[in-house]
């Protein structure tokens, strides 16, 4: 067996060890390095002045997370406002909010990855970051509440909730989602993860081989998610 064949043989011990080490090094690429000295130098700022604003690396990271969540929510809320001002229906408003998330994410892929990519090892985001992130959910929920008030929000059909899914829903049924049926909350959970799955698929460069017109695909899918959660067709 040639050296080339040995290298490509998945059972070869040397190749396995090399690939294990390579995977370990891939994980290192995902670490966030916000050393204040390096950041201050790169920004052309005095380190003491930087430390007056950010006590440590974690404080700086939290500030970035807050900025990202708020910027994404600003985009979603602006899209919702523009759609409502233009007389859009419920499903159109829903789709506009989803589009606001996508527009911001494509323009700010690194910030999007910070909040919706792999968690930063060792970092636990404080509660205020969750409040900032909830603004986008609230924009979507506002559409559902309007539909509910108009008597057109449907929770008919679909599979009954399993015991595990009922537990998932009950954990979310208070607070922001109070008053929505368990079926609607379960569907909202599905479409929320689907939304970020679609956005991440495009942000991370996986859409090119799937959709010739990514915007058209996203709009179609966002509308389908709106119908799935119970909104009436326009």
Residue of higher predicted confidence among 31 and 83: 83
Specify the pLDDT at position 1. 44
Is the pLDDT confidence value at 2 over 80?
Answer: no
What is the percent of the chain where pLDDT is above 90? 73
Is the pLDDT confidence value at 38 over 70?
Answer: yes
CA–CA separation, 144 and 132 (whole Å)? 20
Is residue 202 within 8 A of residue 102, CB to CB? The reply is yes
Cα torsion at 166, 170, 171, 176 (round to 10°)? 130
pLDDT tens, position by position, 106-159: 999 999 999 999 888 888 989 999 999 999 999 999 999 999 999 999 999 888
pLDDT tens, position by position, 45-90: 999 999 999 999 999 999 999 999 999 999 999 999 999 999 999 9
State if pTM tops 0.85: yes
pLDDT grade for 3, boundaries at 50, 70 and 90: very low
Cα torsion at 168, 174, 177, 183 (round to 10°)? 40
Minimal CA–CA distance to 117: which of 105, 131, 130, 129?
105
């Amino acid at each position: 067996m040639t050296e080339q064949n040995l290298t490509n043989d998945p059972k070869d011990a040397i190749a396995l060890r090399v690939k294990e080490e390579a995977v370990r090094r891939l994980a290192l690429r995902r670490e966030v390095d916000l050393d204040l000295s390096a950041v201050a130098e790169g920004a052309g700022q005095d380190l003491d002045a930087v430390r007056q604003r950010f006590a440590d690396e974690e404080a700086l990271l939290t500030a970035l997370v807050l900025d990202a969540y708020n910027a994404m929510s600003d985009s979603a809320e602006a899209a919702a406002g523009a759609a409502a001002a233009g007389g859009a229906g419920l499903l159109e408003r829903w789709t506009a909010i989803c589009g606001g998330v996508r527009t911001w994410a494509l323009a700010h892929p690194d910030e999007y990855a910070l909040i919706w990519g792999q968690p930063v090892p060792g970092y636990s985001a404080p509660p205020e970051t969750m409040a900032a992130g909830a603004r986008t959910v609230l924009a979507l929920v506002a559409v559902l509440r309007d539909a509910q008030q108009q008597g057109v929000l449907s929770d008919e059909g679909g599979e009954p909730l399993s015991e595990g899914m009922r537990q998932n829903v009950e954990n979310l049924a208070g607070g922001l989602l109070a008053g929505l049926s368990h079926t609607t909350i379960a569907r909202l959970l599905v479409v929320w993860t689907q939304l970020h799955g679609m956005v991440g698929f495009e942000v991370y460069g996986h859409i090119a081989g799937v959709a010739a017109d990514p915007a058209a695909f996203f709009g179609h899918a966002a509308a389908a998610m709106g119908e799935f959660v119970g909104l009436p067709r326009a």
